[in-house]
Chain A
């Protein structure tokens, strides 16, 4: 066991524990923390795979923006976001459990099949890579030469997502009725109505 093996083991265990926490958490804020643990673990695996640029992007975008957005929305919803899931009708619960078990069965069976079919092959170690593999220069060159059209489309996607998010999340009760003075006399006289109010500032809506 050298440092790389230990690093891989620690990062993969962190990612797995975070994923299980995310799914099992009763409180969504704990789920968000599990998601954060998974993201940090996967960023460490990116570092192990010589993808330094993607590790940085992963930490900035996911840990810095996505998880913060989740936590922000959970805080905004308050305690309603953390209520225990209410009991639904039995057919729905049975269907949910059945779909979960079916998904797990499919995954386990396919994993066993794949492991059996590749058990005879000797696993091939990663080859040597140059120092530029995964650097900002290499990924940027790929992005701006071969993948320039999707890159430009991503900018359009992001701006549409920003506008759409604002449009969807905005409250519908924004239109306020124009304010009217409470009484017609206040609309008539733009000054103190009584000599005793002569020195006081006006507090009505006309100002």
Chain B
């Protein structure tokens, strides 16, 4: 029997790799939209780790309930973040976070 995908280590490894890709994207890219997408990648990676550990230690549904809350918070965060992007674009005609250098309206 092959253990590929049947142990928690594989899922945690994949989750760590996706989280690292997301964090590097957030640090290196300067397009605010891509930065928001990188945040989504990191949240997804955390969700994957939570669900994998919930599958490993079967008892109650704490991990999946946490994932549910993370999904809800991510949806709210994207709505507010994208509206901030729109407002910023209206102010500076740009979507690059380098241009957010005024600290005032």
With A and B bound together, what is the CA distance between A88 and B20 in angstroms?
24
A186 contacts the other chain (Cβ, under 8 Å)?
A: no
Residues of B within 8 A of A5 (CB): 2, 4-6
Bound complex: CA A45 to CA B52 (Å): 9
Interface string of A134-175 (1 = CB under 8 A from B): 100011011100110011001001101110111011010000
Nearest-neighbour CB distance to chain A for B22, whole angstroms, equals 7
A68 smallest CB distance to B (angstroms):
10
Taking a contact as CB atoms under 8 Å apart, the answer to whether A126 and B55 are in contact is yes
Q: How far is the CA of A151 from the CA of B75 in the complex (A)?
A: 15
Which residue of B7, B44, B67, B80 is within 8 Å of A161 (Cβ)?
Answer: B80
Asked if A118 is at the interface of the complex by the 8 Å CB criterion, the answer is yes
- The listed residue (B11, B13, B80) touching A49 by CB distance below 8 A is B11
Residue of chain A at shortest CB distance from B99: A86
Complex formed: what's the CA distance from A150 to B65 in Å? Answer: 10
Nearest CB of chain B from residue A158's CB, rounded to whole Å: 6
The bracket for how many chain A residues form the interface is: 35 or more
For A39, the chain B residues whose CB sits under 8 A away are 44
Smallest distance from the beta carbon of B34 to chain A beta carbons, Å? 5
Contact A123 B9 (CB under 8 A): yes
Q: Which of A16, A31, A118, A154 contacts B14 (CB 8 A)?
A: A16
* A205 sits at the interface (CB 8 A): no
A22→B38 contact, CB < 8 A:
yes
List, in ascending order, chain A residues with CB within 8 A of B44's CB: 38-39, 42, 62
When distances are taken between beta carbons in the complex, the residues of chain A under 8 Å from B60 are 142, 146
Given known contacts A16-B14, A125-B7, A139-B64, A22 and B72 CB-to-CB distance under 8 angstroms? no
- Whether A77 contacts B34 by the Cβ 8 Å rule is no
Q: Does A202 contact B (CB under 8 A)?
A: no
Which chain A residues in 164-191 approach chain B with CB under 8 Å?
164-166, 168-169, 171
Known: A22-B21, A147-B69. 12 other contacts (CB 8 A): A4-B5, A28-B33, A54-B64, A54-B67, A57-B68, A57-B71, A62-B44, A62-B74, A70-B36, A96-B27, A139-B65, A154-B69
Interface residues, chain B, with chain A CB atoms under 8 Å away: 2-11, 13-14, 16-18, 20-25, 27-31, 33-34, 36-38, 40-41, 44, 47-48, 51-52, 54-56, 58, 60-62, 64-65, 67-69, 71-80, 82-87, 89-90, 93-96, 98
Q: Can you list 11 A-B contacts (CB < 8 A)?
A: A5-B4, A7-B5, A16-B18, A23-B28, A25-B34, A32-B37, A77-B89, A80-B93, A85-B30, A125-B6, A147-B65
The 9 A-B pairs at the shortest CB distance, nearest first, are namely: A8-B5, A23-B25, A161-B76, A169-B83, A142-B61, A107-B20, A165-B83, A123-B7, A100-B28
